[in-house]
Amino acid sequence: MNKIKTGDEVIVIAGKDKAKRGVVISRADDSHLVVEGVNVAKKHTKPNPMKNVTGGIVDKTMPIHQSNVAIFNTASGKADRVGIKTLADGARVRVYKSSGEEIKSIVPAKKSA
C-alpha cells in the first residue's frame, strides 16, 4: 500500500522547492510523484503546424522522489508521517502518525478495474 496517493496534499521537505505545498497529480513510477507547482522545468518546444502547436518555452512539471515530500496535515499545519491501521472489518486505512486520525484525499483516487 502506497503511503502517498493521487489527490493528497503534500509539502516538499528537501530540494530546491523546499517548503512548497501542492496536490499530487499522478505517480510517475513506484518512487516518483508529479506534484502540482513543484519541480517545474522550462521545456523548449519546436513548432508543429500539423498539430497546431506553436513553438516556444513551456513550463513542465517534472516528477519528484517521494522521499523528498511528506503528507501535509491540515489540522496541525505541518508535515506528518503516514501510518497504516487495520479496521475491525479487515480494511486498511491510512492515518496520521501524530494524531491517529484517518487521512482523506482532496481528490478521490481512481479505482482500477
pLDDT tens digits for 14-23?
Answer: 999 999 999 9
List the chain domain ranges.
9-79
Cut 0.75: pTM above it: yes
Return phi, psi of residue 66, to 5°: -70, -20
pLDDT at 24 exceeding the cut of 50: yes
pLDDT over 70 at 7, yes or no: yes
Q: CA 98 to CA 32: how far, in whole Å?
A: 25
The hierarchical CATH code for the domain 9-79 is 2.30.30.30
Tell me how far apart the alpha carbons of residues 67 and 59 are, in angstroms, rounded to a whole number. Answer: 24
Angle at 80 between CA 76 and CA 84, to 5 degrees: 120
Grid cell, residue 72, equals 501535509
